[in-house]
Structure 1
Amino acid sequence: MTNALNLTAPVDTLAMEFTREFDAPVEALFRAHADPEVVKQWLGPRGLAMTIDEWEFRSHGGYRYVHSDESGEYRFNGTFHTVRDNEFILQTFEFDGAPDMVNLEYLWFEDLGGGRSRLRGRSICPNTDARDALLSSGMEGGMTEGYEKLDELLARR
């Protein structure tokens, strides 16, 4: 079963918010965000290869990865500010193609019982132009495809 992504951008805010349910326990969903070998298998849209240059998944750790396809490379980096197992991640996110446009991202992991979980997120952009550029870039489609890949991965485990 594929669960729908609900992505909104509340008017007069710098935020984007989303929710997505998964047919997997919260521990498996959290591990899929924590383990770089698992992250590489689902993060981003189909058709992109992913390499991870740095992945220190802990409070005050950092990350740097590259998505690539025949059109080129897309580099991303950030800091894991706060990590609480199976519960919460607070991180920054920056695309190298838009330097100095750093987002602050909150991820909450919720146990729904019965082997199901919910991921709730809020990304705060530096300004509305940056937020609107992300929304018009196909980000929602990329998130949807990535979470569909994650569904497939979690179903195999």
Structure 2
Amino acid sequence: MTANTTDDATITTPADREILVERIFDAPRERVWAAFSRLEQLVQWWSGGDLFAVERWEFRKGGHYRFLDRYDGEINGFEGRFREITPQERIVQTFEWDGMPGHVAVDAVTFTDLGDGRTKVTTLRQFHTPEERDGMLHSGMAKGMNASYRALDTLLTRSA
């Protein structure tokens, strides 16, 4: 297992086909959950708050999402389907980036109430092959994810 702490997110590779991301937010679980599940909040932080377009948002089991963002002058698409939604506890969804078409990962996102007004968000992303995992690690994923998490910090502070 290798570890890399970037800003406040800890990124590890617990297995050859997995990326584990852990981040603690200074907000109660209900507010963090709302930021992940309500589109009007999600668009304020996802992609660092620079989401270009929401082509689809169906937050329900079996529902489909598709977002476009603008990064370094390029438009990038991200999409997937929701496999499991347990309110305030867990979201399992597929994730595909247009930059790696046909390489679909599965994300399991858990929301843990730390009991002190903070919430730990853990995302385990599983890939089909080690090469797919490594491609995502080298894609700039950490930079984009941390920009999003900083924008989420701002949103959570405003909604306190």
Equivalent position amino acid for 2:43 in 1? K
User: Which residue matches 1:95?
Assistant: 97
Percentage of pairs with the same residue: 34
How many residues are matched? Answer: 153
TM value normalised by structure 2? 0.89
Gaps of 5+ in 2: 1-6
Between 1:114-123 and 1:62-71, the stretch displaced more is 62-71
TM value normalised by structure 1? 0.91
User: Which residue matches 1:135?
Assistant: 137
Contact 1:7 1:16 in 2 (8 A): yes
1: distance between equivalents of 2:25 and 2:95?
23
Once the two structures are TM-superposed, the CA of residue 93 in structure 1 deviates from its matched residue by 0.3
2: distance between equivalents of 1:143 and 1:70?
15
User: Which residue matches 1:116?
Assistant: 118
SS in 1 for 2:47: coil
Per-residue CA shift, 1:102-154, capped at 9, x if unaligned? 00000000011121111011000121111111111111111111101100110
Contact 2:92 2:106 in 1 (8 A): yes
Contact 1:49 1:69 in 2 (8 A): no
User: Which residue matches 2:32?
Assistant: 29
Q: Does 1:107 align with 2:109?
A: yes
1: distance between equivalents of 2:138 and 2:128?
16
Contact 2:52 2:69 in 1 (8 A): yes
